[in-house]
Amino acid sequence: MSAFWSAWVTVITLAVILGCTWLLLATRKSQPHQEQTEETLGHEFDGIAEYDNPLPKWWFQMFLGTVIFGLGYLALYPGLGNFQGLLGWTSAGQWEEEMAHAEEAYKPLFAKYAALSIEDLQKPENETGLKMGQRMFANNCSVCHGSAGTGAYGFPNLTDKDWLYGGDPATIKTTITGGRQGAMPAWGAVLGEDGVRDVANYVLSLSKREGIDTEASARGQTQFQALCAACHGANGTGTQALGAPNLTDNTWLYGGSFEQVTHTIRNGRAGVMPAHKDLLSTDKIQLIAAYVYSLSQK
């Protein structure tokens, strides 16, 4: 927080505390110095009236106590920007200290497991390393890929053998470190609506879908060889170097219904896997990659 807002909060807090104190003392003074009176405040409802008694002494003292506590707290622990309080405590400082402690405590453990190859990390005796990878996966990856890594619409399943970019240890590590950017062009303008329908029929015939319009599919095949084969391969089995999916296996990133496939062809797709090289150390990426690799080895 900037110094201005620190001062702003401090001044308002002080003003409120002083205001409450003044109110407390002012109302006490105006009341008779006795614990009980027969006087009422003058209003009455259903025969019930309110005595004009001062606050009980214990209550008044508790009020004063909270005022003193408030002032003490403000002096010791504000932790706001430049006003660090007499103890110099800040929440950011405490967090940094705890992180430094954790780093110190876990560094040898990370170093031990990160020195192993991803294949060696699959061995039962290195289960702890894999568990560490699993926890880091939960923190960093599960928002997109699901807590079990099974993915969702637009987010690939990491537990199957169907890979956009490749499922060997080195490729998984490259994907996590540098991120990936899927680039499926939009073909609506090139093919027209009929052309999109033809190609979609052909694409769905590749995974033996029932109810294919065979004439449309034949026309689509010609278009596919001209426009799509460069990335998806002449047989539609995909090209991992480009992240172009296999279209013959009935595993779909963006859904396999006729509507979803025509939508993909018409409008294109651009899935983004964020790079993690600035977010996670190489030791951590090694353990997460080992965990991801383990998911498809069962």
- For ligand HEC, the binding residues (CB under 6 A) are 137, 140-141, 143-145, 154-156, 158, 163-166, 172, 175-176, 180, 182-185, 187, 199, 203, 224, 227-228, 230-232, 242-245, 247, 252-254, 261, 264-265, 269-274, 276, 288, 292
Provide, rounded to whole angstroms, the least separation between the CB of residue 98 and ligand HEC.
23
> Which residue, 130 or 199, is less far from ligand HEC as judged by CB?
199
CA angle 247, 252, 256 (to 5 degrees): 90
CB of 4 to ligand HEC, least distance (A): 35
- Alpha carbons 87 and 296: distance in angstroms, whole number: 52
Nearer to ligand HEC, 66 or 139 (CB): 139
Shortest Cβ 162–ligand HEC spacing (Å): 7
Hey, what long-range contacts does 228-235 have (CB within 8 A, 24 or more apart)?
A: 228/199, 231/184, 235/206
How far is residue 157's CA from residue 164's CA, in Å, rounded to a whole number?
10
Residue type, 142: S
Q: Looking at beta carbons only, is 24 or 275 nearer to ligand HEC? A: 275
Q: Toward ligand HEC, which CB reaches closer, 101 or 135?
A: 135
Q: Name which of 9 and 144 has its Cβ closer to ligand HEC.
A: 144
The minimum distance between CB 71 and ligand HEC, in angstroms, equals 46
Q: Which residues of 53-87 are buried (b: 16+ CB within 10 A; e: fewer)?
A: ebeeeeeeeebeeeeeebeeebeebbbbbebeeee
In the complex, what is the shortest distance from the CB of residue 233 to ligand HEC, in angstroms, rounded to a whole number? 10
Other CB atoms within a 10 A radius of the CB of residue 218 amount to: 13
Q: Is 201 exposed, middle or buried (0-12, 13-18, 19+ CB in 10 A)?
A: buried
Query: Are 180 and 170 within 8 A, CB to CB?
Result: no
User: Between residues 90 and 237, which has the closer beta carbon with respect to ligand HEC?
Assistant: 237
Nearer to ligand HEC, 86 or 183 (CB): 183
Q: How far is the CB of 83 from ligand HEC (least distance, A)?
A: 37
Residues sharing a CB contact under 8 Å with residue 177, sequence separation 6 or more, in sequence order? 275, 276, 277, 282, 285
Minimum distance, C-beta of residue 101 to ligand HEC, in the bound complex (Å): 24
